[in-house]
Structure 1
Amino acid sequence: MQSYQPFLIADFSTGLELGKEPWLLPKDAFTTMNDALIHRGVLEKRKGYAPFASTGQGLAITGIFHLKDAQGARIQLVADQSYLYESDSSGLTQVSHSQRGANPVWTGSESSFIHWANWQGKVFMTNNQPVLGETTAGDGTGLDGIQVYDGSVFEALRPDLSGTGDYVDQCALIMVHKERLIVFSTLENGAMHLQRARWCKPGDPDDWTNDGFVDAPTGEMIRGAAYIRDEIAVWFEQSVWLLRYTGDADLPFRWEKVSSVDGCGAPFSTASFQDKSLALGKAGPVLTDGLDACRVDEKIPNLALGFDKDHMDVCFGMVLEDQSQYWLLYPFAGSASADRVLVLSYDNWTWSIYNLAFNCLGYHTLDQSIIWLASPADPVKDMSGVSWSACSEKWVSNTAQAGYPLVLAGDREGGVFQVNHTASDGDGEAIGFEVVSGRWNPYRDLGVKARLGRVDFLLETGSNQTLNVDFFKDASQTAYLTRQLSFDREGEKAWVRLYSGATGAFHRIRLYQNAAGQNIRIHAITPWFKPAGRVVS
């Protein structure tokens, strides 16, 4: 009698794969990856989030960024639909405006996100609303336009193009390049210039009388921008261009077309990593290296069609460099706000979907390392005065060290949260986890059925941790067997075996749970098969 053979699945590298029939997938591919990810070859449950601060105003958070002041100090800032706040150990403190005092400074919707740039000890901000844009009360008191903060003075910047009152009253994006502040897609003297890049005099953000601008030769409007190496990639509706530096003092920048393959459908989806820029096009993610552009959704074709097309403006993208990930907050079909996260792990180009509802993302850094206090319950483990970096325990974390970038997320109610932080959501809420394998049969090419004897799982151990496993065969959507994996084992890792014994043309498994405080990590899966007769007799 033929014995069972092991088929090891380890060093996971495919992740979510929707571009092929399930029976054609690589053995380490999954047709569902909800609140799960592939990280350094390990299948993991996503980490949770914890409260960081709250504005107390109940307005949507529209920006999480920082000011690098003239002394080089970093000041954490948060913006909502109306106000700017500084963050410190006591929470969020509203910044008083030199012209508005404590009155609203910004108008606009929940998706009027802040685009910002640091330069010369100041942070320059725009929410793409015109100067004196009306508030919801219709009283015309909103300031909007471009705002500037240097750590003490919060005021408006209204570029005067002639020195006699020809103003830039609105811009979609604001960046710094080659000692110039550059604004994109501007409203000037009542006229919109949707293809325009305009810049100040070199080194002087208060002087715009140099007539420095260039319009892209296209009828499309600017939708987003990101740095690539020493250039700025500018995303239009259906194309990608570079704003290339010329070195000519009279015309220091010119437009250079990169590609007409696709453009950007969500202005705040743009981000840069590994000398490339990624944005959400109308049909899916698009990547450019400044020489060409291409779609990068081979593994997840048509996934973007499940986004709510009427609310693409709520999409928000950011790169998490410490995790080598790109996050895109997006609205699932039928939703008016972002309630999912499309996650790209770009080290191995694997995709995942997280069930998280945030409005925007940003970074925060610790001013000093976290210090442990003495534990009265365990004086032998007295850690007072010892930073985490000096501790040899296995739970040592670089996220507790001064200067490490911590990821923050803002919601639509004025809450700010630290993400990728805990094993629970919010104040101890459960996190879901669901992955579904492709259809396995190592004898597929021979036209032979497979008998699944058992499946071994190499788990990272943890007390009181369990995971449900459903077994399916052939094309059935109903599990013929449900078992539970226990992670409560000795050692750091352990093999755990579940038995099946079923015969079918194909086999697949579903791993799932919904629990708080559980760090699920699976290093390998080994199904054991043996041939079991022809598929067609």
Structure 2
Amino acid sequence: MTQPVLIAPFKTGIDTDVSPWLAPIDSFEELNNFHVHHGFIEKRGGFRLFGFMVHNPATTITAITEANPGVVTANGHGITNGQKVLITNVGGMTELNNRTFTAANVAPNTLELSGENTSAFTSYTTGGRVALFDANRMMGLHIYYASDGSKTFLAFDTKRAAFYNRISDRFDPLDTADIMSGSDTDYIWTENWQSTGGTNRMYFTNGKAFDNVSLDGIRFYDPLVSTTITTGFRPTLSSTRTLYGSKLIFSIRQRLVVLHTFEFDSATASTKTFPQRARFSQVQSPSIWNDVIPGQGGFVDAPTGQQIISARPLQDIIIVFFTNSVWTLRPNTGDPAKPFRWDKINDFRACDGKMATSQFDRYIVGFGVRGITATDGVETRRIDERIHDFTSDEVDTTNFQKVFCARDFNNQRFWTLYPPSGSTESTKALIFDDESSAYSQYDIAMNVLGLANQGYDYKLSDFTAENGLDFKLSDMNEETLQSYFWQDDAEVFVGGTTGGVVHTLQTTGTDNETDISCNLTTNAWNPFQKEGKECQLNYVDLLVQTESTTRITVQFFKDSDTAPYVTRQSDILPPLDYVASVANISDANPAVVEASNHGLSTGDIIYIYGVQGKIGINGEYTITLVDANNFSLDGIDGSLFSTYTTGGQVVRKKFYRTISWKRIIAGGIGFQHTMKISNEGSNQPLRIEAFKPSFKARGKRTIN
């Protein structure tokens, strides 16, 4: 007698802390490029280009030659030989858009694109811009909030800042020279200060001291002071001391507070570091820091020899992570001259990176070599029970300072970018679902995360090659169109790369036109385990959201085998009155479809779905009979599409999106069963609502 087992909803996510056969039935050994959300598992969305970080204003292009190499005319461009340049918004010769090149044979008004043969490109027609592109590592993505509620998106790399120009839809550089000298781990920390007195600023620091010339220290962006430059911030502390910087900045209880400070002493002409110090401004006066006059500012040092690593605000306190302990900086109501005090929570090493923390409503998460913790101001506890050894086994400890945490509020996910063991850069992300507390992983190479305000609602007329949006409606599914819709000034989740590029995350079906691969492996199944019996896994029914182009590979394993005993390929189409499977589609005109025993007649209207390679050919057609195994598509030139590779069905009904069961046949006998599902491709969404494996007990016992 068969025994079906419904596995739904999905709440556990990855569980590697116990043996597979002991893990919850809805858990996974691996869940890669998937996430858990509202009880289902779903392939992650991709990312698309938001913009390039540039250091100099772009110059208008007036001509581009069709030559080897191509020559760009841009009067007064200011670029020199060997510099990397970015080209955007070109009309006609769109093959050059959103690409970088090395400038060669530079003249005052022209430059060659070294090594780029443009002779076979489309002829240049009009427009375009060329800008110097340093391709520095992105170090911060933040929104400045003005007093009237308007927003400005600021991006930071290791040397400069830029703001997103909503009118021109590009980044415009701030400042005329470098303002920072950051390293690979000097991430930007910001704080928006807003007061009734009219001062509205974004203070920022990369955690380095002012060099007494022009670089680093604390700075601020204030459009009322300047819309094109940032301003150095070095308030006076006393007659001989000046604040030269800090690692962290906060606004709390109407004061600006800085942690881990750098203070210049003119008496000794030296800058001293105070790694345990919290220094604060006067109430409602972020420019007054005089610690000689009571009430105009001051400081309080934590009674420890450890250094401040990171911190986050929690209601009206700050949770501060030191080298080997966790403290709170909280209001001190008993002494007006000392408005804050330090209280120690524990001696646990909870955080090992400046950006390895994130704020939740009731606690602060810390990501450290010893594990993932939550601190609520009273206690610190582990929240990685199902992946207990993750941080020590999966994260490269020598590059732990590159761990970067951020929350995607719209999707209720907590991201942690991290360098995998043996890697120097962050190429993966650990994903935590706020609702279920389930973990999964993404393969995604980003260096920083943040929020941006798009501020532009795309129209169909915007989808042109000049704008880098060269799509046909037939190439786009609903998710792709939806990903370009924004309410006015809506905030979107963005990521920055090590190469100076900003992307909008979780928006499309590709990673900037690159396929996305995903795979999951279940933990072990056997409903007769307690009886000590082997079982046969007859089949697994998958409850999926149907898609017209997505294909999955399903592999079944038994016992401790590392090779699957069977591998199946499947589409995830709903019932559409199946006619035949596609074996091939020719590149002829008209295109000829090979489909054995199709039973069709000339003039029949059919639909083709699930084709790989020649993806654009999926759709509705009128056919002409060739023979019992072939028919042609009236008016369709097969050479206009990519080459057919595999898959596809001929059906009589038009595709519709719904929830449908798909049965995958297994058949293996063993004491434990696992299933692996994988998918690779562009614009191939995959959402699984439930598994329903069907088992049958077998006589062989697993206990002697």
Q: Taking structure 2 as the reference length, what is the TM-score of the superposition? A: 0.69
Q: Which amino acid aligns with 2:158?
A: Q
- Contact 1:370-1:401 at 8 Å conserved across structures: no
In structure 2, C-alpha distance between the alignment counterparts of 1:10 and 1:497, rounded to whole Å = 16
For 1:373-431, what per-residue CA distance to the aligned partner results, in whole angstroms no more than 9, with x for missing partners?
699xxxxxxxxxxxxxxxx99986796223432101000111000001111101x1111
- Contact 1:262-1:286 at 8 Å conserved across structures: no
- Please tell me whether residue 272 in structure 1 is matched to residue 367 in structure 2: no
Q: Report 1:330-341 matches (<5 A).
A: 330-341=418-429
1:12 aligns with 10
- Contact 1:276-1:288 at 8 Å conserved across structures: yes
Please state whether the residue corresponding to 1:517 is helix, strand or coil: coil
- Contact 2:218-2:246 at 8 Å conserved across structures: yes
- Please tell me whether residue 167 in structure 1 is matched to residue 252 in structure 2: no
CA shift for structure 1 position 259: 2.2
- Please tell me whether residue 355 in structure 1 is matched to residue 443 in structure 2: yes
> Whose Rg is larger?
2
For 1:460-501, what per-residue CA distance to the aligned partner results, in whole angstroms no more than 9, with x for missing partners?
011121110010001101100000121122451111111122
1:475 aligns with 560
Counterparts in 2 of 1:179 and 1:94: CA distance versus 1, 3 Å: same
For 1:286-319, what per-residue CA distance to the aligned partner results, in whole angstroms no more than 9, with x for missing partners?
1111110012111111111121111111111111
2:23 aligns with 25
Identity %: 30
In structure 2, C-alpha distance between the alignment counterparts of 1:487 and 1:87, rounded to whole Å = 41
In structure 2, C-alpha distance between the alignment counterparts of 1:229 and 1:520, rounded to whole Å = 39
- Contact 1:187-1:193 at 8 Å conserved across structures: yes
Q: Which amino acid aligns with 1:309?
A: T
2:372 aligns with 285
Q: Which amino acid aligns with 1:515?
A: G
In structure 1, C-alpha distance between the alignment counterparts of 2:220 and 2:549, rounded to whole Å = 51
Q: Greater CA deviation, 11-20 or 299-308?
A: 299-308
Q: Which amino acid aligns with 1:519?
A: P
- Please tell me whether residue 193 in structure 1 is matched to residue 259 in structure 2: no
2:138 aligns with 61
In structure 2, C-alpha distance between the alignment counterparts of 1:44 and 1:72, rounded to whole Å = 35
- Please tell me whether residue 113 in structure 1 is matched to residue 187 in structure 2: yes
CA shift for structure 1 position 228: 1.1
In structure 1, C-alpha distance between the alignment counterparts of 2:479 and 2:407, rounded to whole Å = 29
In structure 1, C-alpha distance between the alignment counterparts of 2:526 and 2:164, rounded to whole Å = 55
Q: Which amino acid aligns with 1:126?
A: T
Please state whether the residue corresponding to 2:446 is helix, strand or coil: coil
Please state whether the residue corresponding to 2:667 is helix, strand or coil: strand
- Please tell me whether residue 298 in structure 1 is matched to residue 401 in structure 2: no
Counterparts in 2 of 1:295 and 1:143: CA distance versus 1, 3 Å: same
Q: Report 1:437-448 matches (<5 A).
A: 437-448=522-533
Match of 1:94 among 173, 182, 187: 173
2:291 aligns with 210
- Please tell me whether residue 132 in structure 1 is matched to residue 211 in structure 2: yes
1:535 aligns with 702
- Contact 1:70-1:122 at 8 Å conserved across structures: no
CA shift for structure 1 position 79: 0.7
For 1:169-212, what per-residue CA distance to the aligned partner results, in whole angstroms no more than 9, with x for missing partners?
22110111111111100122322111100011111122111351
CA shift for structure 1 position 515: 1.2
- Contact 2:326-2:345 at 8 Å conserved across structures: yes
2:324 aligns with 238
In structure 1, C-alpha distance between the alignment counterparts of 2:9 and 2:491, rounded to whole Å = 27
- Please tell me whether residue 488 in structure 1 is matched to residue 573 in structure 2: yes
Give the CA RMSD over aligned residues: 2.0
- Contact 1:72-1:121 at 8 Å conserved across structures: no
Q: Which amino acid aligns with 1:6?
A: P
In structure 1, C-alpha distance between the alignment counterparts of 2:162 and 2:484, rounded to whole Å = 27
For 1:212-248, what per-residue CA distance to the aligned partner results, in whole angstroms no more than 9, with x for missing partners?
1001111111111111122111111222111111234
In structure 2, C-alpha distance between the alignment counterparts of 1:322 and 1:142, rounded to whole Å = 39
- Contact 1:18-1:31 at 8 Å conserved across structures: yes
Please state whether the residue corresponding to 1:267 is helix, strand or coil: coil
Please state whether the residue corresponding to 1:313 is helix, strand or coil: helix
- Contact 1:468-1:483 at 8 Å conserved across structures: yes
- Please tell me whether residue 150 in structure 1 is matched to residue 236 in structure 2: no
Please state whether the residue corresponding to 2:261 is helix, strand or coil: strand
- Where in structure 1 are there 5+ consecutive unaligned residues? 97-101, 134-140, 376-391
Q: Which amino acid aligns with 2:544?
A: L
- Aligned pair count reads 505
Q: Which amino acid aligns with 1:273?
A: F
In structure 2, C-alpha distance between the alignment counterparts of 1:111 and 1:421, rounded to whole Å = 28
Please state whether the residue corresponding to 2:241 is helix, strand or coil: coil
- Contact 1:71-1:121 at 8 Å conserved across structures: no
For 1:56-113, what per-residue CA distance to the aligned partner results, in whole angstroms no more than 9, with x for missing partners?
32101111002123443211100111111010243110012xxxxx110011112211
1:177 aligns with 252
- Where in structure 2 are there 5+ consecutive unaligned residues? 54-132, 194-198, 265-270, 293-297, 464-477, 576-655
Q: Greater CA deviation, 66-75 or 273-282?
A: 66-75
1:521 aligns with 687
2:91 aligns with none
- Contact 2:350-2:372 at 8 Å conserved across structures: no
1:435 aligns with 520
In structure 2, C-alpha distance between the alignment counterparts of 1:61 and 1:175, rounded to whole Å = 22
Q: Which amino acid aligns with 1:527?
A: P
CA shift for structure 1 position 263: 2.4
- Please tell me whether residue 504 in structure 1 is matched to residue 670 in structure 2: yes
Q: Which amino acid aligns with 1:514?
A: E
In structure 2, C-alpha distance between the alignment counterparts of 1:479 and 1:364, rounded to whole Å = 45
Please state whether the residue corresponding to 1:423 is helix, strand or coil: coil
- Please tell me whether residue 83 in structure 1 is matched to residue 160 in structure 2: yes
Counterparts in 2 of 1:154 and 1:11: CA distance versus 1, 3 Å: same
- Contact 1:263-1:281 at 8 Å conserved across structures: yes
Please state whether the residue corresponding to 2:355 is helix, strand or coil: helix
In structure 1, C-alpha distance between the alignment counterparts of 2:172 and 2:360, rounded to whole Å = 33
Please state whether the residue corresponding to 2:250 is helix, strand or coil: strand
- Contact 2:480-2:509 at 8 Å conserved across structures: no
In structure 2, C-alpha distance between the alignment counterparts of 1:286 and 1:398, rounded to whole Å = 36
Q: Which amino acid aligns with 1:88?
A: N
